[in-house]
Structure 1
């Protein structure tokens, strides 16, 4: 007890309780005088003015409102609506039942609507602020309310803050089995194969230190289109006494002599989850000659993924992810854990970091907070691995976080204890609460490859029941939520492909485009015929690129036509006919198949010197008598590459715009610095705009050229590809994503290097872009991604 030194026995500490009535009695005269002054000013009318009553009815104590509150409390105690109906009570309204259902925090699974559509754990938060869209079996936030604008402000927040996206709609498949069997499964379905990576990278992936990205295919059917891009990671290898990971060797045995069972995660987008799961399950069952079989388990509805993007990602994580372990101050592990977020930019790309963190809603050390007991917390990283291992156990679910009401009660009691006022509120016993709930959560942190130096991308993998706790904490610490529309803007800004829009060779793209076409046609039919916009092909008619290749082949004296086995009925063909090279090895293999090693395409391969700049500055390389160059080659399957388009002077390229091959005469005046080029802008006739693409009775679209060949050469340019992600307004880069045929790009580069002076040659390729509802061709520069990066399998 703190006492006064002058007066013995008199305490200076604050009293445990304050008697308010004594204070009022001593100041009664002053209060009466103040009351008389106020009453005189208000003419003794203390009723609130009607024009000032907005949102001030919280003090209303009417009987009807009390009945409504009492009814809500009674409804919350009801476990099943069927019981209330059977007892003859009034049926609970749908709104109340839905609120009760969405506020539940079950350990596993999503809440579903009447038609089976799943709702995210953050559905209520998003539904109040975002436009929701029913797609891929989920209600997913599309974007902020409005006409889809605000990209300029969003990109500013990407550069100066943090964006967060709830990607819980991604599905998870867990593979279990011997290590060699799992490697055989991955090699049969993933491109690029994990075994094809460099030895150091392959060893780190196998040890669980980093994760990998690849395209998922059907096992044993490489000719079929791919399914989807996936992210895969192995469970962290066991650690030794010093805390370092043990080397994982093929053929390592258990104590009983059997092979060690490893576990592997494969994250898949919801648009292709079922198709991908069937492919992985079929690949596991096909490994019959390897001894022990691999097992494929669906973990959908158990784990969630939150994606963070921005320049201050690690500052946000430093505030919210507080390690719960008490490490030894002398160990190497402690220094890594404590500085992981302070030096987050030094973490290598594709790194996997496992943590056991406290409840992000936990209070800070202010207000005299009592320190938590450390008996239930791990004392070493080996104990953390046990907690982290719960994420990998499909049969065991992690305990959900503490209820919000319990945390509020504890906060209130701590506050009262700090100011020594009032008594503690009684509640459930701590022992019973700890058995049902948890105050710590195991998480995985994945650091993706940075598209820019100033922007960081990370994914936080955590149990589904903990999503609300982390989501609200991220929002409270300054993060900005985004939906699907804003996520595609970020992907375009960073030059990354976006699934499924930038994967036209996948079935998910065909389904997505079919849905987009139905929505566009439905909106157009609601307008009167005079105000309907001109109909354009959705999705783009990729088959017309065959005509361009045929036309260019005929100029060289070669005929291009399908054989009997290659002829495909236009009525029955897929939306996208061809293959997309997403790695340098795939592009090199395509060039070898058509004997086009000398084409002007320079895929970036590790250990080999890129000869792009060497040939670009060689004066004698493109001389007429030089026979080294190859003409346009025709393969059985067209090969497309992803390119980034940037307008030379002006133009905003939309999704679905057609990319055309310019003539040499088109590039010279349009690249001139004088303003005379504006008068020489290439356009198609206004009358032929609607007939450029013709729709067949089956609904398919095809290219229709005028019969006059002179008019065709004058105003028409042959298509070589289409834009899949349009220009983002407000971006300083102003780039669009397109897919163009590889051999046609090589032919254009050769023509332009021969026509342009040596100093004006560029590594980019000049192309013409025309929006579907426009008549003007805009000049753009196309950069081939595989000439800048070895792989293009990353996705966002």
Structure 2
């Protein structure tokens, strides 16, 4: 048997040195050159289709099924010929699979909204659709993420994320109106249709250093609230370019807000441009680590340089959020020219690979990233402290890179339902649920109870619970005319006009959960002694007494939004009669401005709760915006 030939590079000297040994050596390059033609012919024969059995057909018959199990619906042989034969027979209909039919039906629903208009999707729609249950709310014109799939048990996860991490929400579905014109004309138009005119006259707002949350009115005469809005100067007003103001409103009331500003333009003869714009995107970040998320995304900004003020504005230029989340170092010259158009994921990956190669070629030097683009953005403080979070407003092209960068920092994404849970956690008013004095709020509540009525109509009469029956009766009696959202001295005196209501935050620390459709009642002395008095040897609280769960008199308020059923302590937002607060504070007052009140859920015994009047502790009932 011949000895094996070893192929190895040879410099001549080593071959001369080992010539006396029995092993033979060849030069690799000479061997490859001599066999080049043979190797080329072999590879060509493999790559060329010769009509022989290739792939699965070359395997034995008992192995073919296992090899093709990954493609059970592969296209059969000669599909065109079979389709032609079916056409000759007079039946050219080709049945589609169930999955195809379902997807086609969903796509057909997605194209048009209930009012016939086209439905929009977020730029992060594909990212959310892989992780969230998507929803198309009535009248929004958007397909938005609702909540994580499951049985709706994400309340404790959201609360834990707020206290220990951060939560991010893509709120680009809100409508952004751009208002351009002379500074005086723009300011005059805003004052006409805004409830809180004092906030618009401050120097911080005029100079573009602070944003403001306001309530838009239908007209200067009727003064009925349409919806809350976020208003700020996109740039500082000057004599050359004039003033540019951005107004963010809920998508459900975009048409009503546009009509209100158009009416002011015609009646007052004020010259300005007012139109909706899709050029901007918005991402909100809240939680205990929201400050750390912003520091990681924008390392160039110094958050300690200025005092943290509510609705304060910072404008900055930073590198690609995907690179900033990975703490990539870039050259300072790259931040001088921000780009309006964000690079695609392929372009970003190419720059990342190039930067990695440059770092590997010269590992002894500290290299900067190659080809990383910069962007300009606006940072708005959501509240007086950092835990209240921040609002990032960027160009629409940068919405997806910004969202990927935010999620890469560890912030937990939240859908629409989970975002409303956050409003309950911070005690803010959510639109449109807590705005029953507006048309959008009353319509949303009517739609909710209509869905309950449809569920009831499909159930047998014997299985309809008493809760559903009581809920249907109570729904018809809810009528809210006016809600006081600004602090007023008449509230403490109890001399406000009749049918005036104020918003309160409810908390159930003792027992029970607040539910939609519940009514608020003034407690009696037995209920006060059972829940508010201290237990002693001579005095019992008698909480097990059946009379404790009964209420009497007329309801003084209604619950508008509640926390999830999984909450250990139930939270809710409610509207209560303003004139009834005087008797509550005199007879059922508790510490820190709280009052004791009773909640009557539909078809169930009453439960105790603590209520905090918002405008009694703050000047303005600021919404969750």
Corresponding residue SS for 2:235: coil
- Per-residue CA shift, 1:608-637, capped at 9, x if unaligned? xxxxxxxxxxxxxxxxxxxxxxxxx683x5
Q: Which residue of 1 aligns with 2:81?
A: none
Matched, 1:789 2:618: yes
Deviation at 1:150, TM superposition (A): 1.9
Among 441, 445, 448, the residue aligned to 2:379: 445
Q: Which residue of 2 aligns with 1:134?
A: 136
- Per-residue CA shift, 1:456-510, capped at 9, x if unaligned? 3111111112111111122222111111111111111111111111111111112
The change in CA–CA distance for 1:670 and 1:64 in structure 2 (over 3 A counts) is closer
Q: Which residue of 2 aligns with 1:509?
A: 441
The change in CA–CA distance for 1:732 and 1:597 in structure 2 (over 3 A counts) is closer
What is the aligned residue count?
Answer: 524
Q: Which residue of 2 aligns with 1:764?
A: 594
- Per-residue CA shift, 1:366-404, capped at 9, x if unaligned? 99x8x6593x642xxxxx8xx6xxxxxxxxxx7421122
Deviation at 1:749, TM superposition (A): 2.9
Deviation at 1:418, TM superposition (A): 4.6
Matched, 1:485 2:466: no
- Per-residue CA shift, 1:254-296, capped at 9, x if unaligned? 5xxxxx62111111011211111111222223222xxx61221
Q: Which residue of 2 aligns with 1:553?
A: none
**Which runs of structure 2 are paired with 1:436-585 in the superposition (5 Å)?**
439-450=373-384, 455-534=387-466, 535-536=468-469, 541=474, 576-584=479-487
Deviation at 1:122, TM superposition (A): 1.2
Indicate if the aligned counterparts of 1:727 and 1:736 stay in contact, CA closer than 8 A.
yes
Can you give the 5+ residue segments of structure 1 that lack an aligned partner in the other structure? 1-20, 26-46, 48-53, 68-89, 100-110, 238-247, 255-259, 324-336, 379-383, 388-397, 422-429, 545-574, 600-632, 685-713, 754-759
- Per-residue CA shift, 1:275-329, capped at 9, x if unaligned? 11111222223222xxx61221211x22111110111112112222355xxxxxx
Corresponding residue SS for 2:173: coil
Matched, 1:226 2:198: no
Indicate if the aligned counterparts of 1:314 and 1:344 stay in contact, CA closer than 8 A.
no
Indicate if the aligned counterparts of 2:153 and 2:566 stay in contact, CA closer than 8 A.
no
Whole-Å separation in 2 of the counterparts to 1:155 and 1:414 = 39
The change in CA–CA distance for 1:662 and 1:63 in structure 2 (over 3 A counts) is closer
Deviation at 1:419, TM superposition (A): 4.3
Q: Which residue of 1 aligns with 2:243?
A: 262
The change in CA–CA distance for 1:634 and 1:541 in structure 2 (over 3 A counts) is farther
Whole-Å separation in 1 of the counterparts to 2:235 and 2:135 = 37
Deviation at 1:748, TM superposition (A): 3.1
Q: Which residue of 1 aligns with 2:268?
A: 287
Q: Which residue of 1 aligns with 2:521?
A: 660
Whole-Å separation in 2 of the counterparts to 1:264 and 1:210 = 12
The change in CA–CA distance for 1:62 and 1:209 in structure 2 (over 3 A counts) is same
Q: Which residue of 2 aligns with 1:682?
A: 547
Corresponding residue SS for 1:272: helix
TM-score computed with the length of structure 1 as normaliser:
0.59
**Which runs of structure 2 are paired with 1:191-202 in the superposition (5 Å)?**
191-193=195-197, 196-197=198-199, 202=202
Q: Which residue of 2 aligns with 1:31?
A: none
- Per-residue CA shift, 1:634-656, capped at 9, x if unaligned? 83x51101112223522211222
Indicate if the aligned counterparts of 1:285 and 1:294 stay in contact, CA closer than 8 A.
no
**Which runs of structure 2 are paired with 1:44-83 in the superposition (5 Å)?**
none
The change in CA–CA distance for 1:373 and 1:539 in structure 2 (over 3 A counts) is farther
Q: Which residue of 1 aligns with 2:19?
A: none
Corresponding residue SS for 1:267: strand
Q: Which residue of 2 aligns with 1:175?
A: 179
The change in CA–CA distance for 1:313 and 1:679 in structure 2 (over 3 A counts) is closer
Q: Which residue of 2 aligns with 1:406?
A: 347
Q: Which residue of 1 aligns with 2:4?
A: none
**Which runs of structure 2 are paired with 1:206-221 in the superposition (5 Å)?**
206-221=206-221
The change in CA–CA distance for 1:761 and 1:165 in structure 2 (over 3 A counts) is closer
Deviation at 1:130, TM superposition (A): 1.1
The change in CA–CA distance for 1:167 and 1:536 in structure 2 (over 3 A counts) is farther
Q: Which residue of 1 aligns with 2:111?
A: 113
Deviation at 1:788, TM superposition (A): 0.7
Whole-Å separation in 2 of the counterparts to 1:365 and 1:718 = 60
Deviation at 1:530, TM superposition (A): 3.5
- Per-residue CA shift, 1:153-197, capped at 9, x if unaligned? 21111111110011011001111122222221111111111xx24
The change in CA–CA distance for 1:215 and 1:439 in structure 2 (over 3 A counts) is same
Cα RMSD after superposing both structures? 4.1
Indicate if the aligned counterparts of 1:660 and 1:720 stay in contact, CA closer than 8 A.
yes
Whole-Å separation in 1 of the counterparts to 2:475 and 2:481 = 9
Among 727, 733, 740, the residue aligned to 2:576: 740
Matched, 1:319 2:296: yes
Q: Which residue of 1 aligns with 2:89?
A: none
Corresponding residue SS for 1:149: coil
TM-score computed with the length of structure 2 as normaliser:
0.74
Deviation at 1:210, TM superposition (A): 0.4
Corresponding residue SS for 1:655: coil
- Per-residue CA shift, 1:634-689, capped at 9, x if unaligned? 83x511011122235222112221101223444234433445512324367xxxxx
Whole-Å separation in 2 of the counterparts to 1:364 and 1:157 = 19
- Per-residue CA shift, 1:505-557, capped at 9, x if unaligned? 1111122123222333334444444434442576895885xxxxxxxxxxxxx
Deviation at 1:439, TM superposition (A): 2.1
